[in-house]
Amino acid sequence: MNALQKLEAANNSNKFICVGLDTDINKIPESIRKESNPIIEFNSRIIEATKKYAAAYKINFAFYETEGANGFKNIEETLKFIPQDVLTIGDAKRGDIGNTSKMYASAVFDSFGFDSITLHPYMGFDSVSPFIEYENKLNFILALTSNPGSNDFEKLRLADGSYVFQKVISAVKNWNNKNNCGIVFGATKIEDLKENLQLISDLPVLLPGVGAQGGKLDEVVTAFKEINRKRYLVNVSRAIIYKDSSDNFDLSAAEEIINLNKQVSNLLS
């Protein structure tokens, strides 16, 4: 299965929740901090408990890079616990000039073996094209993000009346000859999402911002349901993995994603 097929298979089983592995040594339960590698102990248990319910796993590189070389090893190790048929997202937000992006693509797709990546669009086509050359991968390009700063540049009004982020969406559609491009759209921006669903067309959409950031799962699911379309993932990080600070954290995480999946199924039925 290629990356898009994994996403579609998950959606067809009513799985839309992406578990964000924003694993922070300071936030994981006391009980496992004494393990030789607490990060891997935490991730492996979270994955083991949730893998039947997750549509995807998103690894936020920043949380691993703070540990330097060990952090990179932890990314490699964590990927081994994720079943082959579940989409993996390298949330690395890369983007650079062509010869450099080629290296980043090789790092995330070849070395780590991620199915997909998040990318910055700012530097334009040649900064994302080395990623797009990987036919079987998925490239989620930032359109309108979930954070307050999205107003600073993404929502600047262009001379033709559109917003910068809308130009990004149009460009991503043009870049999508290989059917391996998608966008990132903040779940916190529900009105903008609704207004832009037609423009987004059938691009796969990764929606972060539900939970700690204030986005509402039901609003997102309802918005897509209204136009009868799938091909999207709602990322939930902190609200799942830090649901419970006891040693029961993995079972509580499973409970939480099961609940979220039920909410989605109810909305879709």
Rule CB under 8 A: which residues touch a copy of itself? 22, 24, 60, 62-63, 65-73, 76, 93-101, 103-104, 106-108, 110-112, 120-128, 142, 145-154, 156-159, 161, 164, 167-168, 171, 208, 213
**C-beta separation of 131 from 101 below 8 A:** yes
User: CA angle at residue 78 from 77 to 84, to 5 degrees?
Assistant: 105
Q: What is the DSSP letter of 210?
A: B
C-beta of 4: minimal distance to a copy of itself in Å? Answer: 24
Contacts of 217 (CB under 8 A, 6+ apart): 187, 210, 234, 236, 260, 263, 264
Tell me the residue length of the chain.
Answer: 269
**Kind and range of the H or E element at 266?**
helix 249-268
**52 assigned to active site:** no
Distance separating alpha carbons of residues 163 and 142, to the nearest angstrom: 14
Nearest-approach distance from CB 60 to a copy of itself, in angstroms: 6
Nearer to a copy of itself, 43 or 261 (CB): 43
* H/E element, 60: strand 56-60
We find the least distance from the C-beta atom of residue 82 to a copy of itself, in angstroms, to be 17
Gap between the Cα atoms of 13 and 10, Å rounded: 5
Work out how close the CB of 134 gets to a copy of itself at its nearest, in angstroms, rounded to a whole number: 14
- Complex with a copy of itself: residue 1 or 103, whichever CB lies closer: 103
**Beta carbon nearer to a copy of itself, 62 or 268:** 62
> Which residue of the set 93, 194, 216, 225 is catalytic?
93
Q: Which residue, 123 or 258, has its beta carbon nearer to a copy of itself? A: 123
Nearest distance in Å: CB 130, a copy of itself: 10
Closer to a copy of itself by Cβ: residue 35 or 76:
76
Q: How far is CA 4 from CA 87, 179, 225, 230, 255, in A?
A: 8, 8, 20, 12, 27
Point out the residues that are catalytic. 93
